[in-house]
Amino acid sequence: MNAPDTTRRDFLCTLAGCAAALAGACGDVTHTEFFRSHFKELTPEDLDGILKKIERECETKYGKDVDVKNTPAREGVQFAYALDISRCVGCRRCVYACVAENNQSRDPVVQWIRVLEMDKEKGIDFEHANPYYDAETVPRPGHTYLPVACQHCENPPCVKTCPVGATWKEPDGIVVIDYDWCIGCRCCMSACPYGARRFNWKEPSLPADEMNPNLHVLGNRPRPKGVVEKCTWCVHRVRDGRYPACVEVCPVGARKFGNLLDPSSEIRYVLDKKRVFVLKNELATHPRFYYFYGL
């Protein structure tokens, strides 16, 4: 603990800070922010102001030009994802590519994708899964690898439980979080059956030279402490017609992504030709993330 007098000073500062915040006039909590409306009700001008503010903040903090987009969902697009378990070798390249692409905290380590090593004989058995295996020695004989991230459920329990509506499903199927609206109560983490959500237990750290400046307001922009985050299927890329970073990096091509409404898409091919399944089917969350054994 701190020395007594610093503690006392800190305590007074915080008290004053709270009072000021309540008055809506404290430091970086401006009056407009305090009375800001929910993301979906923002006027275009307000939204623009918010994007500009994030850009300014990032430029000061990381010293580089950043672009914060708000690319909305496109008409006629419904995203879905498929993963071939028989190809995945458990190398965790997707995990690291995701961290780099989405500006996850390096310390504490935040990773949106978790790869579980499982005993082939036991099938999909979370109870005996090991997420901390050594990725240098994969694939180990007798084991399969199951990467898990947000399943972008059709019927997302996380969205249902959020007391302030800070997380929702977009028209193209991506479940997003507004990091400026989240109060950090973690109801959504309790509700998610796939352990997909991460909380910023302390101020995330992100080295400036590793920061990805291509940002989306509901996606990979740097997050503050005290809010929840998770995979967004690289909303900043996929809405511009690119693949998520994990799909691109996978060395064995185990990851497939695309528009369900486009008959020529890879995802449609997988759904038509392979027998797919979803995790924890019995919970009726209806994931948009399918697994299959392609070989």
Partner 1 sequence: MSVFGQFLRFVTGSVRIVTRGNALYWTWILSLLVMIAIGATAYVHQMQTGLISTSMRDQVSWAFYIGNFTFLVGVAAAAVLLVIPAYVYHWKPIKEVVILGELLAIAAIVMCALFVLVDVGHPDRLQHLMPGIGTLNLPTSLLAWDVVVLNGYLVLNFTIVTYLLFMLVRGKHPNYAIFTPLVLLSIPWAIGIHTVTAFLYNGLAARPFWNSAILAPRFIASALCSGPAVLVVLMQLLRRFTRFEIQDAAIWKVAELMAYAMFLNLFLLGAEVFKEYYSGTEHLIHMQYMFAGVGEHDAIVPFMWTAVACSFISFLLFLVPQTRKNPITLNLGCGLIWLGVYLEKGMGLVIPGMTPDTLGEIYEYQPSRTEWLVAMGIFAVGFLLFTLMVKVATPIMLGEFRVAGDEHAHAPAKPATA
Q: List residues binding partner 1 (CB under 8 A).
A: 1-2, 7, 10-11, 14, 18, 21, 29, 34-35, 38, 108, 114, 116, 125-129, 131, 148, 157, 160-166, 181-187, 189-195, 197-203, 225-228, 283
Strands 276-277 and 67-69, by their bridges, are unpaired
Single-letter amino acid code for the residue at 9: R
Q: Which of 77, 162, 267, 270 binds ligand SF4 (CB under 6 A)?
A: 162
Q: Which is nearer to ligand SF4, 62 or 81 (CB)?
A: 81
| Helix/strand/coil percent split, the chain, to 5 | 35, 15, 50
- Residue 260 near residue 115 (C-beta atoms within 8 A): no
Q: Hey, which residues between 204 and 243 contact ligand SF4 (CB under 6 A)?
A: 228, 230
Residue 255 binds ligand SF4, judged by CB under 6 A: no
Which does residue 52 touch among ligand SF4, partner 1, none (CB within 5 to 8 A, set by kind)?
A: none
Residue 280 binds ligand SF4, judged by CB under 6 A: no
Per-residue binding string, ligand SF4, 95-134, x by CB under 6 A, is ----------------------------------------
Q: Which is nearer to ligand SF4, 89 or 104 (CB)?
A: 104
Determine the distance from the C-alpha atom of residue 235 to the mean position of all C-alpha atoms in its chain, rounded to a whole number: 9
Residue 283 binds ligand SF4, judged by CB under 6 A: no
What is residue 8's three-state secondary structure?
helix
Which does residue 152 touch among ligand SF4, partner 1, none (CB within 5 to 8 A, set by kind)?
A: ligand SF4
Distances in whole angstroms, Cα of residue 60 to Cα of each of 16, 55, 56:
26, 9, 6
Least gap, CB of 186 to ligand SF4 (angstroms): 5
Q: Which of 92, 93, 197, 255 binds ligand SF4 (CB under 6 A)?
A: 197
CA-based torsion, 64, 65, 70, 75: positive or negative: negative
As a dihedral over the C-alpha atoms of residue 157, residue 158, residue 164, residue 166, rounded to 10 degrees, the angle is: -130
Least gap, CB of 109 to partner 1 (angstroms): 11
Strands 167-169 and 175-177, by their bridges, are antiparallel
Distances in whole angstroms, Cα of residue 115 to Cα of each of 82, 95, 97, 132, 169:
15, 8, 13, 9, 24
Least gap, CB of 13 to ligand SF4 (angstroms): 26
How deeply is 140 buried, as exposed, middle or buried, from its count of CB atoms within 10 A (0-12, 13-18, 19+)? middle
Contact positions vs ligand SF4 (CB under 6 A): 150-153, 156-158, 161-162, 164, 166-167, 175, 177, 182-188, 192, 194, 196-197, 228, 230, 285
